[in-house]
Structure 1
């Protein structure tokens, strides 16, 4: 049985607004210049005043502004109405007028999206009597950062995107936790947590030498770890084990541990060395109560020796805990239950159960990986759904994603539609967390969080093309005559209306082993409630080396139960 890959449902978009420089001159009304004031408008005593008597305007033309509006850009307009006794006025910027006329005193802040390049205009009714102060116009943008890491802790999901740490509740409402201490804004991060006091501490590493971040859920303090103030020597990546935070040197073979239950207390002497292999540590990962230490030329497995405070290091290598295959991509390391996966230094995908190692990449997949120019940026995560354990491995430089179903010992490829490039590429997911009974993934290109959902047939509204290409069909290089090819889909899966109400399966045939493909032929899959529809294609031609390409793009539940081929054997 072939099952459809999950769709993506948008859960939330994380946004932090960014304001540009001031665009108008004399917004504090210290001078009439460069304002253009009609008869009933005046500037006096640091106020912009209109008296009743005429419907007219106060404006600042584009040429007098610090910067003219740009059509399509959004601007934050703020000002204070100190007094207003009658009438109203409107605010227009870049050809667009704010929807609500100003009729009451108070502080105002709103957005206007310009439609042209004209300046700022205040238009008063004839009866208006008003006094204004402190006007400002600034460009408003929402920077597009990648989702860099996620970690569920207690009742919340903590998400790093760009330079920000956000806390999300069960409704996916979010709060920024580090407005005063911004992090670096690019690259994936590792995250871990321990219990501390009456709450938790969350530690974040972005690969910066001797630098990391701690957020305390009890005190709600965000702290930057460094060498000077905290004797912190790590920064490469972080793991948590038995109440300790652990972090390794960016360039070296040492791993440092915090005090138990206290991520703000470090001692450079509390260290362990992974010295069996000579290369630098690439990644540490806590798995099955053990600490896995990955280098490029091998890996080592450590455990908590219980010798904290003695002359021996707290964490020591297990007997037999040296593994010859390291990782060429530190972000590829991921676990599912008792299984640990990574992209090996030999460009094969490795799976460890306990300390037993097995290569799970097929020769065909290994060939594809070997052909890639860059694999060091590969990123992986794992999850379990409907009894299947999936290891998702993306290669950003090659723009492709491969997924291993360890329950079936099978690989498949996942693609997402890129609306900007209008083509398919790597899957949108960049990192993963299981939170509130949802499989939550973060986007690699923007600040969106999605739910992986097998009941959804699109990705945030974008279509999914589900495809299966057969292995070559040949028989001793004899001529074959293909009479009929039938696919047994789960029936009655059409939607009530719209696209997918009469779903179609598409078929292309190659007669030369997959080099040249025929045009697309379609067959019905069965509308809603039509369980006896048969999807088949007849008279597919003759050849010696066939391949069949099956695809479905309608947003329906496309489950392949079986496929059948009727052919006749011909001459040599």
Structure 2
């Protein structure tokens, strides 16, 4: 009897692999409408199309749109991409490494790199040299004409002069003192500024006071931020890698004073066992009608991506490394522009590209454990329903491989191969026969050919052998 099997799914690696060790690498798990062919499918994650080579890199910031163009920091350069595709170097800065946070106001766009501050008004680019500019600022926020900058390794933040990121006064400061933790990050959203510490978050609003306009709400959010550069904002709220007083780390969304945990227990386990997490970098972007939050752990060399709108995590991995090579991300005129973490290569995230700038994207899906009351099952034939006829040029024959494990992934079978169909061969069926007997079976699919890969469902013809 042929029956559907649970091959499709998102990232779900339990701390005990024999329970669940599901991995979706370079596959986007997508929940479909009720009348679709299948409730969930795995679609090819987008490729990378080279947009330009801008200096030597690496990309050191997310992209911020201002004045009709998008701005990044790459290497020691502050750069702009216009809608026409022309890239321009605005100016050079003093550092070549470390993450930068860019913020935009009415008349200026400005950024900090943890050492210096810089600003640009569309004509002049210059360093902020006011001696009262806070030392070691890691973040800039703009609210109602004033810029806020945190003083490094402290719970203090300062405000600039009105519409002037170059002017700072020694007494225009406040202390986020509801809890004795330093300000690690801050961001303006919905006419408030959130100041995030290790254990708590304080939210400030514009009180209109002439002496110092920002005042704190009485409530405090009992959750902090673990990785200061994981913070990203969108219309759905603020996204970041959080921490609590117990030291647990999880991915959350903050909206108002509410916190929603976005990572499930399995992903939390994977994150908390990483030796270093506080260097994680977050990016939020919208691509082809869906919103995505990307979280990269540079020290651990791993990237996770969340479908914010529909739920579901997957792992993104580039050739010959563990992580996704994209670092900063921005959006301009329907294009997702992103930068490389090692070079000056700037890309477009592109569903029509089946490679990462010419490099093959290896796509892998490890399914959940298949078992029926621990009874032996004879696996006679496995059929995988995918998009076929995906050869990228006439004559090419992309292949899908499967293997299986019957002992909790301690050992695996040899790889078995089937054709996904040459260009135009749409009636090809992927199937493998005589797959042996097992009471506990895990299947893994792999495609390392340059092809579009979409998996819709899987079916198994099997027979139970004992009671």
Q: TM-score, normalised by structure 1?
A: 0.71
1:163-200, Cα deviation, whole Å (9 max, x unpaired): 22123323433333225xx321110100111112xxxx
Match of 1:232 in 2: 133
How far apart, in 2, do the equivalents of 1:176 and 1:504 lie?
44
How far apart, in 1, do the equivalents of 2:91 and 2:392 lie?
46
Q: TM-score, normalised by structure 2?
A: 0.86
Q: Does 1:216 align with 2:138?
A: no
8 A contact 2:318–2:325 mirrored in 1: yes
Report the alpha carbon displacement of residue 324 of structure 1 after superposing the two structures with TM. 1.3
Q: Does 1:262 align with 2:164?
A: yes
Q: Does 1:190 align with 2:101?
A: yes
Report the alpha carbon displacement of residue 314 of structure 1 after superposing the two structures with TM. 1.1
Q: Secondary structure at the match of 1:3?
A: strand
Match of 2:446 in 1: 551
How far apart, in 1, do the equivalents of 2:285 and 2:376 lie?
45
Q: Does 1:486 align with 2:397?
A: no
Report the alpha carbon displacement of residue 336 of structure 1 after superposing the two structures with TM. 3.0
8 A contact 2:286–2:331 mirrored in 1: no
Q: Does 1:363 align with 2:265?
A: yes
1:249-289, Cα deviation, whole Å (9 max, x unpaired): 11211222222322222223222321112111101112233
Q: Does 1:146 align with 2:41?
A: no
8 A contact 2:128–2:165 mirrored in 1: no
* Structure 1 residues 162 and 386, CA gap change in structure 2 (3 angstroms): closer
Report the alpha carbon displacement of residue 290 of structure 1 after superposing the two structures with TM. 2.1
Q: Does 1:9 align with 2:49?
A: yes
Q: Secondary structure at the match of 1:491?
A: coil
Which residues in structure 2 correspond to 1:387-402 (within 5 Å)?
Answer: 387-402=289-304
1:53-86, Cα deviation, whole Å (9 max, x unpaired): xxxxxxxxxxxxxxxxxxxxxxxxxxxxxxxxxx
8 A contact 2:80–2:90 mirrored in 1: yes
8 A contact 1:254–1:272 mirrored in 2: yes
8 A contact 1:341–1:350 mirrored in 2: yes
How far apart, in 2, do the equivalents of 1:527 and 1:335 lie?
43
8 A contact 1:302–1:315 mirrored in 2: yes
Q: Does 1:433 align with 2:345?
A: no
8 A contact 1:292–1:300 mirrored in 2: yes
Among 238, 241, 248, the alignment partner of 1:340 is: 238
Among 74, 78, 81, the alignment partner of 1:161 is: 74
Which residues in structure 2 correspond to 1:60-209 (within 5 Å)?
Answer: 144-149=56-61, 150-179=63-92, 182-196=93-107, 201-208=108-115
If asked which structure has higher relative contact order (CA below 8 Å, sep 6+), I would say 2
Q: Does 1:509 align with 2:414?
A: no
How far apart, in 1, do the equivalents of 2:394 and 2:263 lie?
42
1:461-487, Cα deviation, whole Å (9 max, x unpaired): 000011111011112221121111111
* Structure 1 residues 568 and 339, CA gap change in structure 2 (3 angstroms): farther
Structure 1 unaligned spans of 5+:
16-143, 418-422
How far apart, in 2, do the equivalents of 1:240 and 1:555 lie?
44
Match of 1:91 in 2: none
Structure 2 unaligned spans of 5+:
1-40
Which residues in structure 2 correspond to 1:312-391 (within 5 Å)?
Answer: 313-320=212-219, 322-345=220-243, 346-391=248-293
Q: Secondary structure at the match of 2:229?
A: helix
Q: Does 1:415 align with 2:308?
A: no
1:423-452, Cα deviation, whole Å (9 max, x unpaired): 232001111110232101111111111111
8 A contact 2:145–2:163 mirrored in 1: yes
Report the alpha carbon displacement of residue 570 of structure 1 after superposing the two structures with TM. 1.9
How far apart, in 2, do the equivalents of 1:360 and 1:381 lie?
15
How far apart, in 1, do the equivalents of 2:411 and 2:143 lie?
54
8 A contact 1:7–1:459 mirrored in 2: yes
How far apart, in 2, do the equivalents of 1:290 and 1:562 lie?
46
8 A contact 1:336–1:384 mirrored in 2: no
Report the alpha carbon displacement of residue 227 of structure 1 after superposing the two structures with TM. 4.3
Q: Secondary structure at the match of 2:321?
A: strand
1:330-373, Cα deviation, whole Å (9 max, x unpaired): 01111232222111122111122333211111222111112211
How far apart, in 2, do the equivalents of 1:512 and 1:490 lie?
31
